[in-house]
Amino acid sequence: MPRVLLHLCCGPCSITVVRDLRAEGFEVTGLFYNPNIHPLREYLRRREAAQQAAERMDLPVIFKDADYDPVLWLRAVAHREANRCFHCYHLRLEYARAIAANGNFDYFSTTLLYSRHQRHDTIRDLGRDVAGPDAASDMGPLAGDGPDAASGAPAPDAAAPPKKKARRAPGFLYRDFRSGWAEGIETSKAWGLYRQQYCACLLSEFERYQGELKRLS
């Protein structure tokens, strides 16, 4: 069974994504790494929701709390505020790729692909770029690993010892998970999970609530 490391941006976003990947035949492990979440108390609330969702789904999750470093995120987006989402995606996808490689996962992916509010095409293209040209294909569970019966290649000598395959770099598993948007919302409400009101960073929080300032004038 192919293994996928799934970056989790929050608990509610993981519900239908995990279900769909398992239905495809993947063994899923979660990764919670989000230095973009501000402030710390918001990070803790989202982490708790991710853990609660994982327990509901019997999903193993790697929590990288020791690597929660808002300064790292601020440096990544400094003077790039107009395109901060790209650099925020890159920071987390590159980290997920590294963890996937160290853990011998076949793929890595992200629940960001579930959200209707994220830049879907940017995430898809960036994930594939981060994975690199030699990574596993995302066109199916480990597509191309087995012998190609239609190629006409001769069968290997049964007496010869099998050659050990060089392990490929983990590929970025692209799927459009947005079809599960409404179901994910309803399920997260039924489970009583915390649902955030802004994307994550301090700039998105400002954009979400700046109307309250305008009402004061």
Q: How many CA atoms lie within 13 A of 98 on its CB side?
A: 8
pLDDT at 216 over 90: yes
Q: From CA 58, how far away is CA 166, in angstroms rounded?
A: 32
Please tell me which residue, 166 or 200, carries the higher pLDDT value: 200
> What is the CATH topology of the domain spanning 3-143+167-214?
Rossmann fold (3.40.50)
What pLDDT shows up at residue 138? 79
Confidence band of 217 (pLDDT split at 50, 70, 90): confident
E-strand stretches of 2-154: 3-7, 27-32, 61-63, 107-110
pLDDT at 5 over 60: yes
What pLDDT shows up at residue 98? 98
Confidence band of 147 (pLDDT split at 50, 70, 90): very low
What pLDDT shows up at residue 160? 59
pLDDT at 149 over 90: no
Overall average pLDDT of the 115-130 stretch: 97
Q: What is the pTM of this model?
A: 0.87
Give me the helices (H) in 120-200, please.
Answer: 120-131, 181-190
Q: From CA 171, how far away is CA 4, in angstroms rounded?
A: 9
What pLDDT shows up at residue 189? 98
Q: Residue holding tokens 């790729």?
A: 97
Q: Distance of CA 177 to CAs 5, 43, 88, 124, 143, Å? A: 16, 24, 20, 12, 20
For 45, residues 6+ apart whose C-beta sits below 8 A from its C-beta are 194, 196
Beta bridge partners of 7: 31, 110
pLDDT at 8 over 50: yes
Q: From CA 31, how far away is CA 44, in angstroms rounded?
A: 15
Q: From CA 89, how far away is CA 105, in angstroms rounded?
A: 20
Confidence band of 159 (pLDDT split at 50, 70, 90): low
**For residue 58, what are its two tokens?**
């019997």
pLDDT at 150 over 90: no
Residues for the chain: how many in total?
A: 217
Q: Which residue, 24, 30, 27, 23, is CA-closest to 56?
A: 30
What pLDDT shows up at residue 165? 58
What pLDDT shows up at residue 137? 83
Q: From CA 59, how far away is CA 29, in angstroms rounded?
A: 6
CB contact at 8 A, 206 and 25: no
Q: Looking at this protein, which amino acid is placed at residue 105? A: F
Q: From CA 203, how far away is CA 91, in angstroms rounded?
A: 17
Confidence band of 164 (pLDDT split at 50, 70, 90): low
For 70-115, the pLDDT digits (tens) are 999 999 999 999 999 999 999 999 999 999 999 999 999 999 999 9
